[in-house]
Amino acid sequence: MNLTPCKVLTLDLSEGIPELQPDPNYEQIRITFWWHGIALGQIDLSSQQLPLSAAQLSNLAAQEIAPAVGDRLFEKGFRANLPLLPPHACEAPEDFDKLVNLQAPLQTLHQAWAPLSQSSLSVVICTRDRPEKLAVCLRSLQSSTQPPDEIIVVDNAPSSDATQQVVTQMPGIQYVREPRPGLDIARNTGIAHSTCELIAYTDDDVAVHPDWSARIRQSFRDSSVMAVTGLVLAAELETEAQQIFERDWSFNRGYRVLTYDQAYFERLKPSGVPAWCVGAGANMAFRRSVFEQVGTFDERLDVGAAGCSGDSEFWYRIMAEGYTCQYEPIAVVSHYHRRDMVSLSQQLFYYMRGHVAALLIQFERYKHWGNIGRLGIAMPKYYLKRTVLQILKRNQPPAKLLLTEIIGCFAGIKFYLQNRQRKPEN
């Protein structure tokens, strides 16, 4: 497999639509369409499809953004399908004609999201020995149109004072040193040091959109929603590793709202609820009260322990206890994927180790047999299919990555067995 660099562009339709010319340095272009800070869709183009006139690009944009615009403006007909559930019976949105005939739909959309929420917001960033990346993240937060009430950096088992030095140079940021290694330990430390109604998390390898804090606040307008995740865009797609990750492991859940409620959970519980579909830990937020209701993050999971899935196990718990999680793509961050194949391989090993450990922890807590069914039936079938496609060379990542994932699965079982006696964080 030989993936060429992909140019990542953003186009705010409120500023006009240009002609699109090919770039000799790129054979692919990804365009994300926005309207006044609201991400509405994306399109991937090859160099063979360029150039495009403004009219041609406008037509492509209209097709791509129509589902998200309709989703925002009408109650029925534009809801996105939830993962692993059958498609809606209404394939053609019933309000499509209304959308076509609506006067200035994008302006209507902008006005609908203009009011700001007054909920207080803490932002927690857990980091370890990546001061340069952290500085980029913090600068993006400080450029917010509606800054959070507090920003807390949890320095997790640092090897030097470099992170502290970065934070010291930036006013209005609280520095907390957590000597015990582990991302979920750091997340729980962030909860303990925060004071606001809402607690949002992002990663040190992320740049947040200027409206991110405001949109997180607005996303909790429904009192039944206890957790919100947002849209995670790829900040760059320059290397093969970044493109493989974005293609096969993307954090992007689309441009329409997805609501994961108790009905969704109960419907999929027999086969295993895909809690990982809710979103990404790089862009998530919670009501403070949910930690009192369902506990805090399980410290056996995520980086520094099992390797991953502390976020998805917590979303699973929220849904299992009868509360709602919501994916709200109006809250946007950009994530810098790992650039080299060695780092990607390590990442996928820990992803699968953490995922398998999370399935077993979810079974430990609730005795939901769907978790065991996924581990013992669904995942072996999935990897058997992947192995066959690998043999047939059907557009698969390198075989080494596939083997790394499989080894990670077995490592997850071993990790859980070694740590099952440890009392879950609560």
Give residue 290's pLDDT: 98
pLDDT tens for the chain, 426 residues: list them. Answer: 567 899 999 999 999 999 999 999 999 999 999 998 899 999 999 999 999 999 999 999 999 998 899 888 877 667 788 888 876 544 445 555 666 555 677 877 777 766 567 899 999 999 999 999 999 999 999 999 999 999 999 999 999 999 999 999 999 999 999 999 999 999 999 999 999 999 999 999 999 999 999 999 999 999 999 999 999 999 999 999 999 999 999 999 999 999 999 999 999 999 999 999 999 999 999 999 999 999 999 999 999 999 999 999 999 999 999 999 999 999 999 999 999 999 999 999 999 999 999 999 999 999 999 999 999 999 999 999 999 998 888 767 788 999 999 999 999 999 999 998 655 444
Q: How far apart are CA 302 and CA 389, in angstroms?
A: 30
- What residue type is assigned to position 33 of the chain? F
Give residue 118's pLDDT: 81
Superfamily of chain region 121-340: Spore Coat Polysaccharide Biosynthesis Protein SpsA; Chain A (3.90.550.10)
Q: How far apart are CA 421 and CA 100, in angstroms?
A: 59
Give residue 20's pLDDT: 95
Give residue 72's pLDDT: 85
3-state secondary structure 324-350: EEEEEEEEEEEECCCCCHHHHHHHHHH
- What residue type is assigned to position 85 of the chain? L
Give residue 86's pLDDT: 72
Strands 324-335 and 258-260: antiparallel
Q: How far apart are CA 363 and CA 386, in angstroms?
A: 26
258: enclosing H helix or E strand? strand 258-260
Give residue 78's pLDDT: 74
